[in-house]
Amino acid sequence: MKIAVMGGDGFIGWPTSLHLSDAGHDVHILDNLSRRWIDTELGVQSLTPMDSIQERTRIWHAETGRRIHFNLIDLAKDYELLKKWLSEHRPDAVIHFAEQRAAPYSMKSDRHKNYTVNNNVSATHNLLNALTELNLDAHLIHLGTMGVYGYSTVGAAIPEGYLPVGIETAAGETVSQEILYPSNPGSIYHMTKCLDQLLFQFYAKNDGLRITDLHQGIVWGTHTEQTRRHAQLINRFDYDGDYGTVLNRFLIQAAIGYPLTVHGTGGQTRAFIHIQDSVRCIELALKNPPARGARVEIFNQMTQTHRVRDLAQMIAGISGADIAWLPNPRKEAAENELIVQNEKFRILGLEPITLEAGLLGEIVEVAKKFAYRVDRSRVPAVSAWTKDIAATINHDP
Ligand code: USQ
């Protein structure tokens, strides 16, 4: 298949591009390199030393003989360029990662809120609009988030996208129908993913676009089979307070002897998935497209749920690190239960990597190896969800 990977220079886009190229697909990355610009804005860098996208693709070619093509295109701003590229290349599938993905970054200031909404909503809409205009029947796979659901379950598992509801008619009969699970975003970033869902619903219904939306949990780990092949193919690894996600942050904190930064009681339960499983799921979704005219296909792309304090205690137990119980910079439930249905990928053959099996290897291989690159002053999470919360956060555990 000819596959366009929008956002193919990012944390999941890059290993996905390698995985699909390795599987024999013709991979074309479209990316505006915004993650690299944001690193510069924030004054941080990936824990792992990361080469330019051109250098990465050159190494991939030298290692495997396979080409990954790179195109510098901003989906949100360069609609005509995007349309021209799609009309010339007519890919069989488009994988859409090209969005600002960090909740804390999206809450940093009014400017960051505007950037996240404008970038994410425009990128998604431009893509849908162009596919429709060009009458291009490419399967669109979008990386969404578990965060569209909110995080609490009242005993019942969160279904894969659609909730069956019974509605009473005027005649007193109960009619059942399936609706998109009510969205309940916890940040501006998560809100943009809720808006994406409506855009997808409309274009699938109105124009028959074939769309799969992957509601992914928090990714941990950094390596995949292909990124291990050469030092210069390594994936990025974010540890800073905006882009670092909780488990990867705890791993690097343990490696540098920094107290593990638990927000609040650590009673937040979240869904998780290893990066290797994430790219496998994307390939499974690619092989199982919805029919034209069908509703949006939705998968819950997660393999386990964990409570933040349990993760901290597990890593403290392994590494001897201390735990810092910090005031929470976010507005979120202090404690929640989370049960998630994820049978669809299991039925398609996913055999998940579990936290217990892979964890130690990740600490040793990556976090310790590159610990010398960490700027400790960038570890604290300083983006607060409200001005009131900003006054209470402690920057120095
Ligand atoms: N947390 C801590 N300490 C830290 C960092 C985070 O206790 O040092 C807590 C947060 O308060 C939150 C939980 O850990 O309760 C998860 O935070 P996170 O930064 O790991 O994840 P989140 O902001 O939800 O976003 C990440 C990705 C996003 C993806 C989402 C999936 O950045 O792109 O969509 O995970 S999910 O969380 O399932 O919505």
Q: Which of 193, 227, 269, 303 is catalytic?
A: 193
Looking at domain 2-390, its CATH class is alpha beta
Is residue 169 annotated as a catalytic residue, yes or no? no
CA 287 / ligand 1 centre spacing (Å): 29
Is the distance from CB of 316 to CB of 230 less than 8 angstroms? Answer: no
The pLDDT score that the predictor gives to residue 391 is 87
Protein residue with its CA nearest to atom 38 in ligand 1: 217
DSSP letter for each residue of 63-98: HHS--EEEEE--TTT-HHHHHHHHHHH--SEEEE--
What's the pLDDT at 110? 98
Cα 179 to ligand 1 centroid, rounded to whole Å: 26
**Which ligand 1 atom is the nearest neighbour of the CA of 144?**
34
The pLDDT score that the predictor gives to residue 96 is 98
Which residue, 34, 144, 10, 32, is CA-closest to 82?
A: 32
CB 301 within 8 A of CB 293: no
pLDDT score for 255: 92
Q: How far is the CA of 309 from the centre of ligand 1 (A)?
A: 13
The CA–CA distances, whole Å, from 64 to 11, 30, 111, 279, 296 equal 21, 21, 42, 19, 35
Is 200 in contact with 193 (CB distance < 8 Å)?
Answer: no
- Strands 304-307 and 269-274 turn out to be antiparallel
pLDDT beneath 70: ranges in the chain = 357, 394-397
Cα-to-centroid distance, 244 and ligand 1 (Å): 8
Gyration radius of the chain's alpha carbons? 21
Three-state DSSP at 209 gives coil
**Exposure class string for 7-39: b at 16+ Cβ within 10 A, else e:** bbbbbbbbbbbbbbbbeebbbbbbbbebbbebb
Does this complex have an ipTM over 0.90?
yes
- CA 291 / ligand 1 centre spacing (Å): 33
Q: Report the nearest-CA residue for atom 16 of ligand 1.
A: 246
Is 193 known to be catalytic?
yes
Q: Is 243 a catalytic residue?
A: no
Active site residue: 189, 203, 243, 258, which one? 189
pLDDT of residue 365: 76
CA 243 to chain centroid:
11
Which listed residue (116, 145, 212, 305) is catalytic? 145
Atom 12, ligand 1: residue with shortest CA distance: 268
Give pLDDT tens digits for 264-282.
999 999 999 999 999 999 9
The first and second tokens of residue 373, run together, are: 């690159």
Who lines ligand 1 at CB under 6 A? 101-103, 145-147, 217-218, 245-246, 249, 261-263, 266, 268, 270-271, 308, 328, 330, 332, 381
> Domain residues of the chain, as ranges?
2-390
